[in-house]
Chain A
Amino acid sequence: MAVAALTQRAHHCAAAARVPVYPVVGVDARDRVETLLSDPALDSVASPRQAAVLLVAGALPSYLGTDLKRLHDQLPHPRTTASWCAEPPPIPASLTLGNGISPSDALVAAHGELYLGRRESESDLLPDEPPAPWQGVGEHGQGGEGMMGGKPFGRPMAMTGQDPRDALPLDAVTVDAGPFLSTWPPGLKLRLTLQGDVVTEAALLHPPFRQTEIEAPFRRALREPVAIAELERARAAHHLRALARFLETRELRALRMRFIRKADAVVAGELRTLESLRRYFRLSGAALAIGRGLGTPTEGDCACLQGPALRAAGADRDARTDHPVYRRLGFRPVCGGRGDTASRLGQWLAEAEQSLALAEAAGDVRAEFPDGIEGPTGPIRDAAGELPSWDLESLLTGLEWDEMVAVLASFDVAALRQVRPAVPAELADQGEHS
């Protein structure tokens, strides 16, 4: 009796809790998912094991279906999937968001029903079995030669390899990371060879999904006059969101939320200065925490970059320099200098501040940019040519896991989509239109 009453009490408590959501972000969905999850009733969690709701937002290619199913099965019961995209996602979803009722209310309601037993928990999508049978061959039943190596359960075990840093032979193991790992650019999948937490080899398996929601006003400005203030506020918001993602990798969840909320306030025109955000950024020691010289691309690779990442490496290339309206506002591009992770972050913050100042100075001035415009991640033109690609894999090689995550968070998705090996055309197409 008492146990049953207690269990029921626990279910009621659980039903009222903040909704733990694990977001799976597809094409052009990152910003709206982040804004949704800044609702205090929702809680964005780092691992699917902590979630009750799997939120699938934006278009996802069907060939990532197996990855998504495996992720789904990692959620503990009771669990449910919510779809927040135009087309049905590659896995069945019990809940569809975006028809009338606000998404956060729908998630809270579904979560409550789930714990009160009014909504059924979803069953596994993949069979619960080892991906391959035991393949031990050695004299003690181990996988391969000597004491190690081989492929027990179909996966390669660690084998000795040379450590790139101190010439000590350590065991290396190869794992696939992504495409839905938290704090990673959504969609990015890398095959990493790790020695401890040092990446000794990195291979790109899948590029991150395109995220161009924030570029809408810029694309509009190619065709019709748009208020400079709107453009610059969108740019500032993009940079603040980028900084917020980096702050999450530094364990600063509260400050990340502050930056996201301020980014939304900037777009709405409610925020005129970033003084307090800069103070928090400095107080947190986020720049000190990564130090100088981390993740500097080679000179040739730097030249392939665009927008803030390029300017952070010292180039003063900015399409705004030549535009008469910006010249009248006294615009001069901000240039960082070192081209490392810290200067890319500093560049975002400095450019966001500059953009807010420009938005203030511009007032209601409207302008058209038929020849192309400097977007938040680089020039936007109607006839976009093929961009030169740069080498992310060798930039990541030799970094520790945490360093790799920090470096990845210091590039915008546009830069990460521009890396070698070039994304196969059919893959890129599927990624965007499926």
Chain B
Amino acid sequence: MTLALQLASVALLLAAGAYVVAVMDGLVGAALSGAPQPRVLRQPLERLGRRLVQQKTETEKPDRVTRVLAPALYAALAAAGLSVVPLADDWAAVDVEAGIVLWGSVEVLTVAAVFLHGWSPNSQLPLIGAYRYVAIGLSAMLVSMFVLIGVALPAQSLNIGEIVESQRSLWNVVRQPLGLPLFLVLGLSVSLRGPLDYADSADIAGGTSAESSGSERLVWQAARSAMLVSFAAMASAAFLGGHSGPWLPGPVWLLAKTTLLLAVLVVLGHLLARALPSRMMTLMWTVLLPLAFADLAIAGLGALP
């Protein structure tokens, strides 16, 4: 019974979160472009309506099964990622000892899902998007794994609940100042957003989703937003103390911190330019990865008894 309730809360959080992300996108886009947007609250629903009734287009010789499964896998991964984040004390839908490792598999399988989504329509531009996303996405994942090992050190556990617990006195964002900024890079990468959108970008006409319309596009775009929500919840558990906080109940704290991180990610996504893939690759391996090592060293020194 509790499990059903917990799974339902994960699904509800993802759906509501995806809507909030869409509204934030509208607001931030309007503020940055200087063009007032009408009906910001309704627009996501109107888009939803369109994608529900629009034709789902076919390409020549696609891999039909994979074309359907890739967006579904992406959405399922977002749900799996969120399910290990405790909403309150001892209240995670899936309370596994190796929560961080589960999140790591979610990150990697996301790369696989995006690749399959770009590969399955049998079309050139989506394939280019898929192809270069694997390179960048795996690099971003590598950086994030070192950062996550850093937050597991003070907790002496791979369990997300324990990691939240270890931040009762001091949040990881203070204890390991390099961690959260480095982790945010992953958030933009797993949700194919702004400066790290190498899969669905404008230069390749929408990349992996250049050929998708209708319900397929609906699931894919919703999954992108859901993955961002899932990431923000994980980041707030790993760096901002998750559900812990004074006065208010746990879930409220988690929601507030997640919303804050979502806002930061949405603004960054609209504000920062996407670098050329080769430059981003150099940045990842020569700057971000050494910074992740430094973060791990700081975490290790801090965790010494």
Chain A residues close to B by CB (< 8 Å): 7, 9-14, 16-18, 20, 38, 40-41, 45-47, 49-50, 52, 74, 76-78, 115, 130, 153, 173, 175, 181-183, 194, 196-197, 247-258, 261-262, 280, 283-286, 288-291, 294, 400-403, 405-406
Contacts and interface: CB of A to CB of B under 8 A. Distances in A.
A13 B38 contact: no
B3 interface: no
A304 B56 CA distance: 48
Nearest to A246: B273
A284 B132 CA distance: 22
State the majority secondary structure of interface residues on A: helix
A290 B205 contact: no
Contacts of B270: 252-255
B37 interface: yes
Contacts of A40: 30, 35-38
Given A17-B43, A249-B203, A290-B276, A258 B34 contact: yes
A74 B123 CA distance: 13
A115 B206 contact: no
Contact of A258 (B28, B33, B132, B272): B33
A289 B275 contact: yes
Interface stretch (B171-179, B194-202, B252-260, B286-294): B194-202
Nearest to A130: B60
Interface stretch (B12-20, B46-54, B77-85): B46-54
Contacts of B42: 16
B217 interface: yes
A247 B50 CA distance: 28
B29 interface: yes
A261 B128 CA distance: 32
B213 A261 contact: no
A115 B273 CA distance: 35
B107 interface: no
A46 B206 contact: yes
Nearest to A16: B46
Contacts of A74: 57
Interface in B210-244: 210-214, 217
Interface residues of B, number: 58
A306 B219 CA distance: 48
A255 B272 CA distance: 10
Contacts of B43: 17-18
Contacts of B47: 17-18
Contacts of B36: 40
Residue of A9, A250, A291 most packed against chain B (CB within 10 A): A250
A255 B32 contact: yes
Residue of B52, B210, B213 most packed against chain A (CB within 10 A): B213
A199 to B, nearest CB: 11
A400 B33 contact: no
Interface in B54-72: 54-57, 60-61
B277 A402 contact: yes
Contacts of B201: 251, 402
A115 B50 contact: yes
Nearest to B270: A254
Nearest to A283: B271
B55 A47 contact: no
Contacts of A248: 202
